[in-house]
Amino acid sequence: MATTCSAKKNIQGHPCFGGNHHKNGRMHLAVAPRCNIKCGYCSRRHDCANESRPGVTSRLLTPLEAIAKVREVMASEIMGPIIKVIGIAGPGDPLANEETFETFRLVGEEFPHLIKCMSTNGLLLPEKIDLLNELGLHSLTVTLNALDAQVGGRIYSHINYHGQKYTGAEAARILIANQLQGLKKAAEFGMTIKVNTVLIPGVNDAEVPAIAEKVKELGAFVMNVMPLIPQADFAGVTPPSPEMLESVRTANERIIGQFKHCRQCRADAVGLIGQDMQFAKASCSGN
């Protein structure tokens, strides 16, 4: 039986959770290629389209390559003092890849002072949250785009769950239930939680206030409403205008804090948010 109600884990300075993002940076390790769901805005050519930009490709790392890269970056005079967070955010879903856990283990052993952060679609969160807690995960992002399974069914074409493929609203029902259950457990473990919601005009915009209320109630700390990047099934959808995004965030702010500095960064981003040393592709997966 898992223990609950742990002390809050220290994420002071985390640039995606209110820390100084002009001073503190993060390093993403692209160790997680596989995904277990299909979001309508995800183009497999670009993988985790939650936060990808088209036309870029990634270089995957094994856990041993990843820890070697952390060593290299932390030894750098310029980057070493900047990096406060090690994140795993794709290019697929971190929880669908065993490499994620091995990588966090290696990072925790060698760099215990760094904040460990992960972003997921949440499908496997209830069954993996104990392991993430044992590995010392500090902060967690869950990408949650709907509470209503009918709306979710328009966003997720299918999920692969315990060897079964589910489609439409049935798939969304399972996914949403697991996201909420996993989020609640993560909060009980003292993790600091952000919820990413991809704003898809005409599909889930009406859901956003209810998502904000629900995740706040379950223990989330902040919400990141992200504009749709139109591609794949949603290639024909007009993304939200900056004004629409701003008004949704402002309305949401009355319910839960809003993170507004997201740059929809890549699975192998290194450095300050928006000023990365290198680019390859999607991150903060769905992740």
Q: By the criterion CB under 6 A, which residues form the site for ligand CLF? A: 16, 26, 28, 51, 85, 87, 89, 117, 119, 141, 194, 224, 262-265, 273, 283-284
Which position among 31, 42, 70, 147 is part of the footprint of ligand SF4 (CB under 6 A)?
42
Tell me if 84 contacts ligand SF4 by CB under 6 A. no
263 binds, among ligand SF4, ligand CLF, none (CB under 5 to 8 A by kind): ligand CLF
Cβ contacts of 173 within 8 Å, gap of 6 or more: 149, 152
Cα 93 to Cα 182: distance, rounded to the nearest angstrom: 15
Binding string to ligand SF4 for residues 104 to 143, with x set by CB under 6 A, is what? -----------------x----------------------
Cα Rg of the chain (Å, integer): 17
106 binds, among ligand CLF, ligand SF4, none (CB under 5 to 8 A by kind): none
Q: Quick one: 124 or 174, whose CB is closer to ligand CLF?
A: 124
Sign, CA torsion 235/238/243/247:
negative
Cβ contacts of 198 within 8 Å, gap of 6 or more: 39, 41, 50, 143, 145, 204, 226, 227, 228, 286
Cα 43 to Cα 234: distance, rounded to the nearest angstrom: 10
Q: Quick one: 32 or 89, whose CB is closer to ligand CLF?
A: 89
93 binds, among ligand SF4, ligand CLF, none (CB under 5 to 8 A by kind): ligand SF4
Cα 141 to Cα 35: distance, rounded to the nearest angstrom: 16
Q: Quick one: 32 or 151, whose CB is closer to ligand CLF?
A: 32
47 binds, among ligand SF4, ligand CLF, none (CB under 5 to 8 A by kind): ligand SF4
Query: Minimum CB separation from ligand SF4 for residue 282, in Å?
Result: 7
Burial of 80: CB neighbours in 10 Å, binned 0-12, 13-18, 19+: exposed
Q: Quick one: 104 or 149, whose CB is closer to ligand CLF?
A: 104
Cα 100 to Cα 75: distance, rounded to the nearest angstrom: 23
The span from the first CA to the last CA of the chain, in angstroms, equals 28
* Residues 6-35 within binding reach of ligand SF4 (CB under 6 A): 35
Query: Minimum CB separation from ligand CLF for residue 89, in Å?
Result: 4
Give the other-Cβ count within 10 Å of 43's Cβ. 18
Q: Quick one: 37 or 107, whose CB is closer to ligand SF4?
A: 37
Q: What order do you get walking across the sheet with 37-39 strand by strand?
A: 37-39, 156-161, 164-167
Cis peptide bond N-terminal to 91, omega within 30: yes
48 binds, among ligand CLF, ligand SF4, none (CB under 5 to 8 A by kind): ligand SF4
Contacts with ligand SF4 by CB under 6 A lie at 35, 37-39, 42, 47-50, 92-93, 121, 285-287
